[in-house]
A and B are shown apart, each in its own frame.
Chain A
Amino acid sequence: MLMINIGGALLIAAIIYWFWLYKPEQTQSEDNKVTIVVDNGVYKPGHIKVAANKEVVLTFDRKDSAPCAETVVFPQLDISKTLAMGDGNTVKLPALEAGEYDFHCQMQMYKGKLVAQ
Chain B
Amino acid sequence: MTTNTKDTAQNFIIEGANCGSCVAKIEKALNSVQGAQNVEMNFAERTVRVEGKADESTLIKAVENIGYSAKPMSNESDQDALDEKAKSDEAHYKKLMRNMILALGVGAPLMIYGLIFDMSVTTDTQRIAWFLVGIVTLVVMAISGKQFYNGAWQAFKNHAANMDTLIALGTGTAWLYSMFVVIAPNLLPQVARHVYFEASSMIIGLISLGLAFEVKARGRTSQAIKRLIGLQPKTARVIRGGEEQDIDISDVVKNDEVRVRPGEKIPVDGDVIEGSSTVDESMLTGEPMAVRKKTGDKVVAGSINKSGTLLFKATHIGSETTLANIINMVKRAQNSKPSIGRLADVISGIFVPTVMIIAVLAGLAWLNFGPEPSIAYAVVAVTTVLIIACPCALGLATPMSVMVGIGKAAESGILIRNGESLQTTSKITTMILDKTGTITQGTPQVTDVVTFNNSDENTVMQLVASLESSSEHPLAEAITAYAKKQGLTLSKVADFDAITGKGVAGSVDGQTLLFGNKALMDKYDVAVDDATEQAQTLASDAKTPMYFASNNKLQAIIAVADPIKEDSVEAIKRLQDKGIHLVMLTGDNKATAQAVAKQVGIDDFIAEVMPDDKVNEVTKRQANGEIVGMTGDGINDAPALAQADVGFAIGTGTDVAIESADITLMRGSLHGLADAIAVSNATISNIKQNLFGAFIYNVAGIPIAAGVLYPFFGILLNPVVAGAAMALSSLTVVSNANRLRFFKPNKS
A residues at B contact (CB < 8 Å): 1, 4-5, 8, 11-12, 15-16, 18-20, 22, 24, 39-42, 44, 46, 65-68, 71, 73, 75, 78, 80-82, 84-85, 88, 106-111
Contacts and interface: CB of A to CB of B under 8 A. Distances in A.
Given A65-B92, A67-B92, A108-B349, A46 B335 contact: no
Contacts of B74: 88
B85 interface: yes
7 contacts: A5-B364, A5-B368, A40-B147, A40-B151, A41-B164, A108-B391, A109-B348
Nearest first, the 7 A-B pairs at minimum CB distance are A107-B395, A80-B335, A40-B154, A41-B151, A109-B162, A19-B353, A8-B364
A75 B241 CA distance: 51
B160 A78 contact: no
B92 A66 contact: yes
A42 B336 CA distance: 21
Interface string B1-21: 000000000000000000000
A109 to B, nearest CB: 4
Interface in B56-106: 74, 76, 81, 84-85, 88-89, 91-92
B218 A67 contact: yes
Most chain B Cβ neighbours within 10 Å, of A19, A20, A85: A19
Given A82-B335, A109-B348, A110-B162, 10 more contacts: A5-B367, A5-B368, A24-B158, A40-B153, A41-B160, A41-B162, A66-B211, A80-B332, A84-B81, A108-B395
Nearest to B335: A80
Interface string B146-188: 0100111111111111111000000000000000000000000
Contacts of B352: 19
A30 to B, nearest CB: 15
Given A67-B218, A109-B162, A109-B391, A8 B363 contact: yes
Given A18-B159, A75-B337, A108-B395, A67 B353 contact: no
A1 B367 contact: yes
Interface string B185-219: 00000000000000000000000000100110010
Contacts of A81: 335
Contacts of B683: none
Given A1-B367, A41-B160, A109-B391, A65 B91 contact: yes
Contacts of B353: 15-16, 19-20
Interface in B332-378: 332, 335-337, 345, 348-350, 352-353, 356-357, 360-361, 363-364, 367-368
B392 interface: yes
Interface residues of B, number: 55
B735 to A, nearest CB: 15
A60 B420 CA distance: 26
A109 B396 contact: no
A35 B162 CA distance: 22
Given A84-B81, A106-B396, A109-B391, A67 B163 contact: no
Contacts of B396: 106-107
Nearest to B217: A67
Given A24-B159, A40-B155, A67-B215, A85 B88 contact: yes
B107 interface: no
A94 B475 CA distance: 47
A16 B159 CA distance: 10
Interface in B121-162: 147, 150-162
A113 to B, nearest CB: 11
B152 to A, nearest CB: 8
Contacts of B348: 107-109
A61 B154 CA distance: 16
Contacts of B218: 67
Contacts of A107: 348, 391-392, 394-396, 399
A15 B85 CA distance: 37
Contacts of A5: 364, 367-368
B82 to A, nearest CB: 10
Contact of A109 (B159, B357, B395): B395
A1 B365 CA distance: 11
A67 B214 contact: yes
B160 A73 contact: no
A11 B733 CA distance: 33
Nearest to A44: B158
Contacts of B161: 19
Nearest to B394: A107
Nearest to B419: A78
Contacts of A22: 159
Given A8-B360, A15-B356, A66 B154 contact: no
A111 B160 contact: yes
B84 A80 contact: no
Contacts of B332: 80
B425 interface: no
B322 interface: no
Nearest to B333: A80
A80 B332 CA distance: 7
Interface string B593-635: 0000000000000000000000000000000000000000000
B418 interface: yes
B690 to A, nearest CB: 13
Contacts of A1: 367-368
Most chain B Cβ neighbours within 10 Å, of A46, A67, A78, A84: A67
Contacts of A65: 88-89, 91-92
B495 to A, nearest CB: 60
A106 B353 CA distance: 19
A84 B364 contact: no
Contacts of B349: 108, 111
Interface string B255-278: 000000000000000000000000
Contacts of A109: 162-163, 348, 391-392, 395
A40 B165 CA distance: 11
B331 interface: yes
A64 B335 CA distance: 19
Given A39-B154, A109-B391, A66 B147 contact: yes
Nearest to A20: B353
Interface in B484-520: none
Contacts of A41: 151-152, 154-155, 160, 162, 164
A82 to B, nearest CB: 7
A4 B162 contact: no
A67 B155 CA distance: 17
B337 A46 contact: no
B399 A106 contact: yes
Interface string B393-425: 011100100000000000000000010000000
Nearest to A45: B158
Contact of A12 (B159, B336, B357): B357
Contacts of B89: 65, 67
Interface string B419-437: 0000000000000000000
Contacts of A88: 74, 76
B335 A73 contact: yes
Contact of A42 (B154, B335, B350, B364): B154
A17 to B, nearest CB: 9
A78 B418 contact: yes
B604 to A, nearest CB: 35
Nearest to B378: A4
Contacts of A82: 331, 335
Interface string B207-243: 0000100110010000000000000000000000000
B521 to A, nearest CB: 59
